[in-house]
A and B are shown apart, each in its own frame.
Chain A
Amino acid sequence: MAKKYDTPMLDELKKGAFPSFITEIEKATETADYAKDLLGLLERSFNEKKTHWKHGGIVGVRGYGGGVIGRYSDIPDEFPGVAHFHTVRVNQPSGFFYTSDALREICDIWEKYGSGLTNMHGSTGDLVLLGTNTESLEPIFAELSSRGWDLGGSGSAMRTPSCCVGQARCEWANIDTMAITNEITQHYQDEMHRPMFPYKFKFKVAGCACDCIASIARADMSIIGTWKGDIQIDQKEVANYAKGGMDIQAEIIDMCPTQCMGYDGKAISINNEHCNRCMHCIAKMTKALKPGKERGATILLGSKAPIVTGALLSWVIVPFMKMEPPFEELKDLIDRIWEWWDEHGKNRERVGELIERLGFPTFLKGVDLEPHPAMVTEPRRDPFFFWSEEDIEK
């Protein structure tokens, strides 16, 4: 296949053992013209050390305030294939489960109307289709929705909620992450498609503190599975781990962050009052240790990436909430938080930033929550001390 542009810089990125996005984009030149000009534009940007994208304008299809991210080349005369190169966000199924048929369906639609390029999944969670023009948006939406798909969120709206695989695949899940995600998605359709908030609002649901979906760092509201009561211990299995060569003292007991575990060479003991349910011991000794019997979630609020102010991690606002359909207690809390944020938030102010500005006590009063010792902003630390490489004993 003849190349439309000479791309020596991009060709460097095809070398080496790892998969190359350049190789993949080159493959996509076979199905549509977008990719050829995409490569040309990128080579140009690398040479000039300057982006040639601009954004804005289009945001969705009729009635929708989100789901499409408008992208345009700022030199469309030279690269007409990417004069428009909009991104389409498609709401992914909870837990990212697809049949191969569903994937083919999406890809066929995308090859027909778009560039054929996708980066499944974006960090938003959505199934992200990269590159199409304005005229194709309504036809794509019509085809997607006639097959039961819908767009995801963008703009000042609820973003497409996402979750870890939860009980579908993982024995550590304390809550049905997929059911919660599905319920939030369905219940708040208007909040997702019709932007009404001061800024974006993200949900991510993790089944346990391992937090495979990184909800604590990436969601305005992080819902993380946990338990009440004592960790269940099977001492026979503890003995098996020891027999199998595990150094229980070093790998488990000494690494418990709250130092609440003991091991006498035969049995493990846990001072459960001091356990912070970090999942370390359970993840290491899955056959011997299980979470306590009463399951639910810790609700945290506030994380975001740095934009105006620095990055935030979510902090606890409800230490333990039962998580059973139809999740009324959760929805009630969400409604109260949105109402308070809407009332007081400035344009482009995330809920975590608003809490920092007005203070946590004001927030608690505003949404009618009781203060609790678990509500710490961050563990104690000294930000002026840093270890250097030499200080670290390896």
Chain B
Amino acid sequence: MDKEEVKKAIYDMIEASMGKKKLKPSDVMKKLKADHGVERGDGKAALKDLMDAGTLVYSYKGGSYVELPPK
């Protein structure tokens, strides 16, 4: 998968998680690896892009999670 595809996979994963069980960054990495065989380093780089663009945001509730930005 190229980086844009990884970014899309992450975005879809987070979108599907909204309103359900929140995902931690490490959940995202584990799922990327399991579902798409994406290595951790590539997953982190893609997540970094999404965060820097403000497409996704971090949240905190006893631990750190990844979410869509509040509307």
A-side residues, CB < 8 A to B, are: 56-57, 59-60, 62-66, 70, 154-157, 190, 194-199, 342, 347-348
Is B17 close to A, CB under 8 A? Answer: no
Q: Is the CB of A196 within 8 A of B58?
A: no
Q: Which residues of B contact A (CB under 8 A)?
A: 24-26, 29, 44, 47-48, 51-52, 54, 57-64
Query: For B29, what are the chain A residues with a Cβ–Cβ distance below 8 Å?
Result: 196
Q: CA–CA, A190 to B62, complex, Å?
A: 20
Residues of B within 8 A of A60 (CB): 58
Top 4 closest A-B pairs, CB basis? A65-B58, A195-B64, A155-B64, A156-B64
Q: List 12 A-B contacts (CB under 8 A).
A: A57-B59, A154-B60, A155-B60, A194-B25, A194-B47, A195-B25, A195-B58, A195-B64, A196-B26, A198-B24, A199-B63, A347-B24
Q: Which residues in A have their C-beta under 8 angstroms from that of B24?
A: 156, 198, 347
A236 to B48 CA separation, bound complex (whole angstroms): 61
Task: List, in ascending order, chain A residues with CB within 8 A of B57's CB.
Answer: 59
CB distance A342 to B60 under 8 Å?
no
Residues of B within 8 A of A199 (CB): 63
Tell me the bound Cα distance from A57 to B54 in angstroms: 15
Interface contact B52-A59, CB-CB below 8 Å: no
Instruction: Report yes or no: B44 in contact with A196, Cβ–Cβ below 8 A.
Output: yes
**Nearest neighbor of A157 in chain B, beta-carbon distance:** B64
Q: How far is the CA of A199 from the CA of B63 in the complex (A)?
A: 6
Cα separation A62 to B50 with both chains bound (whole Å): 10
The residue on A at minimum CB distance from B28 is A196
Return chain B residues, CB-CB under 8 Å to A66: 58, 64
B26 near A348 (CB under 8 angstroms)? no
Q: Which of B48, B52, B54, B61 contacts A56 (CB 8 A)?
A: B61
Chain A, residue nearest B61 (CB): A56
Nearest chain A CB to B40's CB is how many angstroms away?
Answer: 9
Q: Nearest-CB distance from B45 to chain A (Å)?
A: 10
On whether the beta carbons of B63 and A65 are closer than 8 Å, the reply is: no
The closest CB in chain A to the CB of B58 belongs to A65
Bound-complex Cα distance A43 to B59 (A): 31
Given contacts A156-B63, A348-B63, whether A190 and B58 have CB atoms under 8 Å apart is no
Which residues of A are found within 8 Å of B58, using beta-carbon distances? Answer: 59-60, 64-66, 155, 194-195
A308 to B54 Cα, complex, angstroms: 34
Report A59 CB to chain B, min CB distance, Å: 5
Q: Is the CB of B25 within 8 A of A196?
A: yes
